[in-house]
Structure 1
Amino acid sequence: MKLLRQIIRRTLLATVILTAPFAVCSADTTSSLGSTIHLSTTPNAHDLGGIRTKNGQHIRQNRLIRSAALTRLNHHDKWLLGKQQHVKVILDFRSSGEIKRAPDVKSPGARHIHLSVMSSPDFGVHPISQYANQLAAKQPNFMEQFYRKMVLEPHCVEAYRTMFHYLLKQRSGAILYHCTYGKDRTGVATMLILSSLGVPKTTIMKNYLASNHYLKKTTAKEYRQMTHYTRNPTVLRNLTRSKAAQPTYLNAAYSTIDRHNGTMKHYLHRQMRLSNHDIRQLRTQYLAK
């Protein structure tokens, strides 16, 4: 009997240990991700509906969707985005070179808009040999520099400003926005959108960091591909840095905004050119009590 009780206790303990991470993941999904959209061909897709603001409101369902590129949508995924998620506008933050190499599959009923965040038409387009050389030459803080650029460089600022233009125009249906992986350019876009809606920074950071989980398989695949080309430790370290979502990256964007504009509120007014009326309109359109 004593042995049986020990076995039961160990079994219960193992059950708690194994299920705890999933319980935490589920709670985190509700609070910071909204809900995951299970596309079979595209990772890192989330409806931001359900995310809570500082004053207790939440983002409406089927209004704001972030994802990776839609380059391999199958029939089911197109149906899900169109009929279930009601996607009406797709903002593609990639460069013209990225789009030419791997265009989005057209989603019926949705308007596709090219809104490149980076000024170079060849951004993100390179053979593996060139990419390895670029990574070998980068400083360890190159991702922090990239995030600073996205909230400071005029072309980037103009792209995000135009994004808000479309958000204000979209009175019904969903806007889906994406870059290649839905992590960096999309991550900054999400930071700005959620900030304008009054979502706390801690929630925004959790939303951003979730990409590490949803892109895990994609990241591992690209790392293996690079190791087949080179074993240079600097290249592999910098590749790992470029494929990760790290608090220091998004915090670099936050600190740059604060240094040049004082606060996020001032940045949204001065750089995104959102008036108080615009902010109220965004919250009316995208939030519910």
Structure 2
Amino acid sequence: MKRKLIKTISVTLLATICFLPTVAAKKTSPIGNQIKLTKVPNVRDLGGIRAKNGQHIKSNRLIRSSALTHLSGHDKWKLSKRANVKVILDFRSKSEIKQAPDAKLHGTRYHRLSVMADPKFGVHTTAQYIQQLAAKQPNNMELFYEKMVVQPHSIKAYRSMFHYLLKQKSGAILYHCTYGKDRTGIATMLILSSLGVPKTTIMRNYLASNHYLKSTTRHEYRLMKRHTHNRKVLTNLKRSRTAKTAYLNAAYAAIYHHSGSMKHYLHTQMRLSNKDIQQLRKNYLTK
């Protein structure tokens, strides 16, 4: 009788445990989650990235990307239906956009926020590009990153970005440049900083572009070698196509030099009030 009672209790407990609701572990990631598209590399949902306050970014709200020129029909469906993209912010120059316009997504609002002042930035013939690369100094990328956070035209573009981020209460904002590495990298640094994400996490997110752009970079390097074997040209091409800690640190250093801190930079240059910061965190963070 005693054995029978113990067996009954055991079965009852097992049944109770089996039917208890399971609590799924929250997915967090320092680099976000890749959105795999056919011919568009380096597309990542920032959902899951953890802030200092223990909250993390909501999924399908902030997406960093490379240019959306070669979207397939299925890619468009993924972005518009699954990722719920409602707004696209394009950081490229006027000439870059004209040369390789984004594919249109149904029901999505598009805004051009050129980060660089030169309307012809990023557009050149192969011969012109070889000449440009040959003339670049070893610290050219560091100087480029500094420029993106201090020149008035760039500041205005990123300030406009925050304007749209504050307005967007639902759906995803997708923002991009050509490769989703440099201009998009600075944008991500500023966005994540405003959301209270640690610098170490921001750096890991930035450096992940090397992984997602690996095949693109190799392909471009092979193509360039068909036109020139000039070592300086090829070295500078690699520098320009790589995400390096030194590059993003150059932007941080410029911000600290001109504004004293990232917090002060966001207040004075991005014109984000304390209320704006709270609103951004309300819009994009969750427990």
TM-score by length of structure 1 reads 0.89
Q: Aligned match of 1:94 in 74, 92, 103?
A: 92
Q: Aligned match of 1:116 in 114, 117, 120?
A: 114
Distance 1:41 1:89 in 2: 21
Alignment of 1:1-289 (within 5 A): 30-289=28-287
Distance 1:190 1:83 in 2: 23
SS of 2:29's equivalent in the other structure is helix
Q: Structure 1 stretches of 5 or more lacking a match?
A: 1-28
Distance 1:108 1:33 in 2: 28
SS of 2:36's equivalent in the other structure is coil
- 1:34 Cα offset (Å): 1.7
Q: Deviations over 1:225-264 (max 9, x none)?
A: 1111000000001000000000000000000000110000
TM-score by length of structure 2 reads 0.90
Contact 1:91 1:178 in 2 (8 A): yes
- 1:31 Cα offset (Å): 2.1
Task: Give 1:16's aligned residue.
Answer: none
Contact 1:119 1:156 in 2 (8 A): yes
RMSD, aligned CA: 0.8
Q: Deviations over 1:44-81 (max 9, x none)?
A: 00000110001110000110000000001111000000
SS of 2:173's equivalent in the other structure is strand
Contact 2:209 2:243 in 1 (8 A): yes
Contact 1:31 1:203 in 2 (8 A): no
**Structure 1 segments of 4+ aligned residues over 2 angstroms from their partners:** none
Q: Deviations over 1:116-175 (max 9, x none)?
A: 000111000000110010110111000000000000000000000000000000011000
Q: Partner letter of residue 46 of structure 1?
A: R
Contact 1:64 1:174 in 2 (8 A): yes
SS of 1:130's equivalent in the other structure is helix
SS of 1:89's equivalent in the other structure is strand
Please identify the structure whose Cα radius of gyration is greater.
2
Task: Name the % identity.
Answer: 69
Contact 1:98 1:125 in 2 (8 A): yes
- 1:30 Cα offset (Å): 4.4
- 1:32 Cα offset (Å): 1.2
Contact 2:134 2:233 in 1 (8 A): yes
Distance 1:138 1:72 in 2: 30
Distance 2:223 2:40 in 1: 20
Contact 1:66 1:186 in 2 (8 A): yes
Distance 1:184 1:30 in 2: 24
Distance 2:138 2:33 in 1: 34
Q: Partner letter of residue 53 of structure 2?
A: N
SS of 1:66's equivalent in the other structure is strand
Contact 2:33 2:44 in 1 (8 A): yes
Query: How many pairs are equivalent?
Result: 261
SS of 2:256's equivalent in the other structure is helix
SS of 1:32's equivalent in the other structure is coil
* Structure richer in helix, relative to its length: 1
Q: Structure 2 stretches of 5 or more lacking a match?
A: 1-26
